[in-house]
Amino acid sequence: MKIDSYNFGSIKIDGKEYRNDIIVFPDRVSPDWWRKEGHNLHIEDLKEILDYSPDVLIIGTGANGVMNVPEPTKNKLKESGIEVIEEKTTMAVNIFNQKIEKDTNAVGAFHLTC
């Protein structure tokens, strides 16, 4: 799954456009990703990712980086053996594509606005 483009509120993956926050696995997309507390990322929001157990999780925190990733969430991911990369969504998309090109077992969780 390569991300073709990202613009505020929109992401295009393999030619298909999505307009809601999204989780991108190497082999599939989980659209309409909702969090229990919109701009705070809790470990409960990442169950699908924890079950998948990637080597790396790239978190796109929004166009302006508004989504917060609290330390307890990062710590739990690291305890689960998952490297965490947290960046504004534009940079996170670039990192995700680089990791996928290198055949890294990476997942991306992207907030598309704010």
Q: What is the mean pLDDT of each run of 10 residues along the chain (114 residues)?
A: 95 97 96 90 96 98 97 97 98 97 96 95
| Phi, then psi, of 23 in degrees rounded to 5 | -115, 130
Quote the pLDDT of residue 113: 96
Residue 89: helix, strand or coil by DSSP? helix
Quote the pLDDT of residue 49: 97
* Global pTM exceeds 0.75: yes
Strands 83-87 and 16-18 turn out to be unpaired
- Using CA atoms, how far apart are residues 82 and 84, in angstroms rounded to an integer? 6
Quote the pLDDT of residue 98: 96
Residues 2, 13 contacting (CB under 8 angstroms): yes
Cα 93 vs. chain centroid, distance in angstroms? 8
Residues 53, 81 contacting (CB under 8 angstroms): yes
**Superfamily holding 3-110:** MTH938-like (3.40.1230.10)
